[in-house]
Amino acid sequence: MSIAALNKVEMKPKEYKSDVSVVWCPGCGHHGILNGIYRALSELGIDPDNMMSISGIGCSSRTPYFIKSYKMHTLHGRAGPVATGAQLAQPDQCVMVTGGDGDGFSIGGGHMPHMARKNVNLTYVLFDNGIYGLTKGQYSPTSRPEMTAYTTPYGGPDEPMNPLLYMLTYGATYVAQGFAGKPKICAELIKGALEHKGFSYVNIFSQCPSFNKIDTVQYYRDLVAEIPEDHDPGDFGSAMEIARGLSEGKAPMGLLYQTSKPTLDEKLAEIVTKVGGHKDYDLNKIVDLYRP
């Protein structure tokens, strides 16, 4: 189901704040992303009773505590499969996952391609700060080699992964990128992701002043460049070329790609119909459909 079919409410951004105090460090970029989420929810008029906020483990995974909604704080790296199950069980709900680069692409990296290729109808907002912040600063999949951390005191041996190329390659149907220092743009991208029917991925650069000393606010301000207005989000080849910009010294900010195709819950519903509906549900009938 699209969120357009949900009941709308009139709530100001601040009214989506829960009673739990935000505990992130002063200067952390996550504050800007959270404000962007509040703004997107307000502009869409999403009823907290129709929303599930799900996360794994990490600084960014505390986000569900700060939002009025149903919520689940799951195991490290396991927000994706939990959110998939929640969406399939309650397809008439708005489902949003929030997590970091370590939670999403290291511990939970095996789940990301399958959410994308299956086109699970949910939004994944990834707070990309290039570090494990909650556990006090370890090298992550998006860390730059020159960054020193507890696990890499002399710098890292790996090149950072490019989340945009990763998600485009595996079939995400909405791919965007923002920067926490631009909360208005973040809100626009998150709003678009929530409105999109299918798997939406929004990568957002977020400075960590406590443990990542090289990816500062100024570094990100110099790094990001808005995607040209004449870019066609429906052009997959163009989106891939823009996503490669990170390896050329610039990171795109905006909507790279958006397309439409059946979602996982829709395809499963078709299978249920083929075997006679829920009342006559029989696993053997499903097996027989695909038996050689």
Enumerate the domain spans of the chain: 3-260, 262-292
DSSP letter assigned to residue 244: G
For range 235-242, the mean pLDDT:
96
The whole-number pLDDT of residue 275 equals 74
Instruction: Look at residue 247 in the predicted model and tell me its pLDDT.
Output: 61
Determine the Cα–Cα distance for residues 260 and 82; give it in Å rounded to an integer: 24
| Token pair of 4 as six digits | 């357009």
Per-residue pLDDT of 55-89, as tens digits, reads 999 999 999 999 999 999 999 999 999 999 999 99
CATH of 3-260, one of 3.30.360.10, 1.25.60.10, 3.40.50.1220, 3.40.50.970: 3.40.50.970
Report the pLDDT value the prediction gives residue 76, as an integer from 0 to 100.
Answer: 93
Residue 285: per-residue pLDDT? 66
Residue 173 three-state SS? coil
Mean pLDDT calculated for residue range 193-208: 97
- Average pLDDT of the segment spanning 31-50: 97
Tokens (6 digits) for 28: 């952390």
What are the tens digits of pLDDT across the range 81-136? 999 999 999 998 999 999 999 999 999 999 999 999 999 999 999 999 999 988 88
Q: Label residue 279 by pLDDT band (50, 70, 90).
A: low
Q: Is the pLDDT of residue 277 over 90?
A: no
Predicted local confidence at residue 83, as pLDDT:
97
- Taking residue 121's Cβ as centre, other Cβ atoms within 10 Å add up to 26
pLDDT computed for residue 276 by the predictor: 73
Q: Is the pLDDT of residue 169 over 60?
A: yes
Query: Which pLDDT band holds residue 185 (cuts at 50, 70, 90)?
Result: very high
Whole-structure pTM value:
0.92
Neighbouring residues of 201: CB distance < 8 A, sequence distance ≥ 6: 116, 124, 126, 163, 167, 172, 174, 175, 176, 193
CA distances from 63 to 53, 102, 134, 139 (A): 8, 15, 13, 22
